[in-house]
Each structure stands twice: as structure tokens, then as C-alpha cells.
Amino acid sequence: MDIQPWETLSDEQLLQYKIFDVRKVRRQSPRNGQDIGFFLISTWDWVNVVAFTQDDELLMIRQYRHGSQNIELEIPGGVVEPQEDAQDAAARELLEETGFAADKLSHLGTVNPNPALFTNRCSTYLATGCHKVGELQQDIGEDIEVTTVPMGEVEDRVRSGEITHSLVLAGLYFHRLQRGTG
């Protein structure tokens, strides 16, 4: 079978918020000609940062997440502001969420968070030589605690269910591939 893109018949914005829109899109299947409706979330791109201190420990954060209603163990990350470069956003998010800056930042990979519903992408950056340069700059809706985790403990924390955020797992996997242990 030769899979083809679907033709967009209509695209209606239903809701608009600061960082995302909900859209109702009608598309026509090239296989059967059917006109089918979909709901999409258009949002800004995101970044994640796999950050290591000068002592080679992984910088992580704990924060309450309203979707899961749990305190999650994650790597730093957030939105890429309009007209902001993703690498600059990674450096900014690292600083805001941990108070640390990196000696070096490099791109590890990019994923589609959920291509069935979301229109954005999430890029992961490796930050090495991270050192404390200031205090946290939390958004009004964030309560963040910074912690470090030895890299040797990360897989156990994934297995135990302490690390469950799918984009965090993707970022850690990109790092594992970069190290050649994937």
C-alpha cells in the first residue's frame, strides 16, 4: 500500500490559550475518500535537557504534575518561546528550573510527543559541565525541587516507576544512544 497525506478540507480553531490551541480539522482519506474530523492541539515546541554536573551526576527535578496528580522525577525542560532557538530555550529552561548553567550544550535528538494529537516537536539537549550560577526562577504554577541522581541509578528508577514521563524517557534514551549503550 502506498500511504499518502490526507487533504485538509477545513481547519477551525475551537479554543485558544497562551501556549496551545484546540482545533477541529476535517480531512479526506486518500484511500477511501471519506471526510473525517479530528481534534488537534497546536502548541509551541518543547525542549528537554539531560544535564550533568561537573561531578558527572544527572541534574533532575521533582515537581507536581496536574495530569498525573503525582510528584514526578524529571529532567529540566519546557516550552520554546516564539522566535526562540531551541538550544537557547534549553539553556534558559536549565537555568530557570535548576539555577545551573552548562559549559557545553549539544542536540541529542527530536521526537513528536504524540503525532496523533499534537502538532509540536520536543528536542532534547545534552548539557555538560553544569555549575550553579543562581537561584531557581520558577513560574507561578511551578513548585520545583532540584536533585542529582548518579547515572548508574537511572535505570533502576525507571524500572521502579519513579521516572515515568515519556518525554523524559525519550531524552534519556537519546543520551544512551549517544553514549553507544542503546
Q: What is the pLDDT of residues 67-106, one digit of tens each?
A: 999 999 999 999 999 999 999 999 999 999 999 999 999 9
Mean of all residue pLDDT scores within the chain? 95
Query: What share of the chain has pLDDT > 70, as a percent?
Result: 99
Polymer length of the chain: 182
User: Distance between CA atoms of 137 and 125, rounded to whole angstroms?
Assistant: 20
What CA–CA distances, in Å, run from 39 to 13, 32, 53, 130? 10, 20, 41, 40
- pLDDT at site 181: 62
Q: Examine the pLDDT at 182 and tell me if it is beyond 60.
A: no
CA angle 58/119/45 to nearest 5° reads 40
Domains of the chain: 7-43 (no CATH), 46-179 (3.90.79.10)
pTM: 0.93
Does 62 score more than 70 pLDDT?
A: yes
Q: Please compute the mean of the pLDDT values over residues 100-113 and round it to a whole number.
A: 98
Angle at 153 between CA 175 and CA 63, to 5 degrees: 80
